Amino acid sequence: MSDEEQRENQENTILYIRQGDQKDGFAEVSIAPDKLTVTGTFHPPVSGGDFLTYPNVVAKLEENGIITGVLHDVIQETIFKANTTHDTISDVVIARGIPPVTEIPEHFVIRKDLIERKPEIDPDASRVDWHAVSAFSIVKAREPIARRIATVPGVSGQNVYGEQTAFEARKMPVFSAGTNVIDHEKGLFAGKSGRLSISSDGVITIEEVLLLKKGIDFTTGNIVFPGDVIIQGKIADGFKVYAGGSLVSSEVVDVTEIVCKKDMIVQAGIEGKGRGALRVGGALSAKYIQNCKVAVRGDITVSGSIVQSKVYSMGVIRMGENAKLVGCECIAIGGVIAFDIGTPRGAKTYIRCGTNFTVQQELDIANEQLKILSIKLQQAETAYKDDQNDKLSRAIETIKAKMAEINAKIPTYLPNIDTNDKAYIEVRGSIHPGTELEICHVPYTVTKLQKQVLFRLDKSKGIIISEPWKKT
């Protein structure tokens, strides 16, 4: 075979198939580097040369070892077309090998929503809520994490020379079950609720404690976590936190909305800027509380002051030495232990003890509804005097029915509202005039400055008495 008949370039092997004379029709055949495809360009004869023939082309292909996947019908049709139209027919596939089938090993495919974090869009405002974009993937116990994909076996191929071609094995991301992750025949499942974490070597674990070393801001988004949360930085304004376990913060907590199902420990203070709300399912400990609404099912321990806040506890509110309770509304079933309460001048302080604040709140709501309905009823009855129509008459009856419903419900609150007649208010420093106290709804107004005094309920007399407090 001459250099004219066959040559190789950097990409394809080129084979020239001729009838004989230079004027005769010929084919330029290109063999792909992978030897799986043969492409031909067919030229008609010129100046009375001989036609290219099908047997000649096939013989040349076989002579050069091309024996697998030869497309005989295509070759015949293309030669006929080139000879009859006298046009060059280019880039026709005339032979195809059998490509190998890539082996895909068994692997896991992780749920897309666990690895793609997208912002929520307010459908009304068409605005992205960047506070809601979380940097963390949170899963619940028994929730699927990844699907198991079975192995796809590899199959060898055959090139146009009849040679076997080896298959390749596709490299897939490797994942494995780590702590709190269950390896099941169908895939990987969460063994416990918590934060999903994937190490650099593909080990998937679920962390029951969420550690936020840089606090909470737009890089983390709002936090909704089923376990314990530890915050080692600031909570930026406007961000919400929900902890299904305990919550620990090392810095001042700027409260927008924080819910903690168990205990909460704040190593600094709590600030709500007059609009923040904090709910704790266990006990609360902090240095101070300022301009915040706090509802706690356990005890509240504050080493410093509580200022301009609403503080509710199902236990005891305990304050440290020299701490002030100023301009607040406090409700505590167990009682209040404070140093100074109130000020000589300024906002009044209200303290209720022995009272279940959750029931008290329901009662307060009911009474407020009655006030509103009473005003509406008065307005409707006044209007009815001037215009006695059926619409006003029905409105009056509806309001009365609603008021009757609320009035019937109010007595059901009373047996559950005052649950601890042993509650007390312990003042280790001073309590200032104007401070208003209640123990089981028995009122007491402080009329003069008193120091180191204990207030308790004398149930037999139905009054609150004060007596000297003595350090034990």
End residue of a domain, out of 161, 180, 207: 207
237 and 187 part of one domain? no
369 and 404 part of one domain? yes
pLDDT at 118: 54
Q: Is the pLDDT of residue 119 over 70?
A: no
Q: Is the pLDDT of residue 3 over 70?
A: no
48 and 90 part of one domain? yes
Is 352 a member of any domain?
no
203 and 250 part of one domain? no
End residue of a domain, out of 396, 417, 438: 417
183 and 227 part of one domain? no
Is 92 a member of any domain?
yes
Is 16 a member of any domain?
yes
Average pLDDT score over residue span 439-453: 95
d(CA 355, CA 367): 17
Average pLDDT score over residue span 15-35: 87
Q: In the predicted model, what is the mean pLDDT of the chain?
A: 89
Tens-digit pLDDT profile for residues 315-335: 999 999 889 999 999 999 999
Is 337 a member of any domain?
no
Range of the domain at 284: 209-298
Q: Is 59 left (phi over 0), alpha (psi -120 to 50) or beta?
A: alpha
- Write out the two tokens for 423: 């509650």
Q: Is the pLDDT of residue 133 over 60?
A: no
pLDDT at 468: 95
Residues 304/325, Cβ–Cβ less than 8 Å: no
Q: Is the pLDDT of residue 120 over 80?
A: no
For residue 144, give the CATH number of its domain. Answer: 2.40.50.100
Tens-digit pLDDT profile for residues 219-251: 888 888 888 899 988 888 888 999 988 999 988
Q: Is the pLDDT of residue 6 over 50?
A: no
223 and 202 part of one domain? no
Instruction: Please tell me the total count of domains within the chain.
Output: 4
Q: Is the pLDDT of residue 138 over 90?
A: no
Is 442 a member of any domain?
no
Q: Is the pLDDT of residue 146 over 80?
A: yes
Is 398 a member of any domain?
yes
188 and 201 part of one domain? yes
113 and 202 part of one domain? yes
Residue tagged 């706690």 (tokens): 296
pLDDT at 347: 78
pLDDT at 36: 95
Is 74 a member of any domain?
yes
184 and 117 part of one domain? yes
Q: pLDDT class for 130, splitting at 50, 70, 90?
A: very low
177 and 230 part of one domain? no
36 and 123 part of one domain? no
pLDDT at 125: 45
Is 46 a member of any domain?
yes
Q: pLDDT class for 11, splitting at 50, 70, 90?
A: low
pLDDT at 1: 39
Q: Of 167-181, 244-258, 418-432, which gets the smallest average pLDDT?
A: 244-258
Q: Is the pLDDT of residue 7 over 50?
A: no
Q: Is the pLDDT of residue 456 over 70?
A: yes
Q: pLDDT class for 5, splitting at 50, 70, 90?
A: very low
Average pLDDT score over residue span 415-423: 91
271 and 254 part of one domain? yes
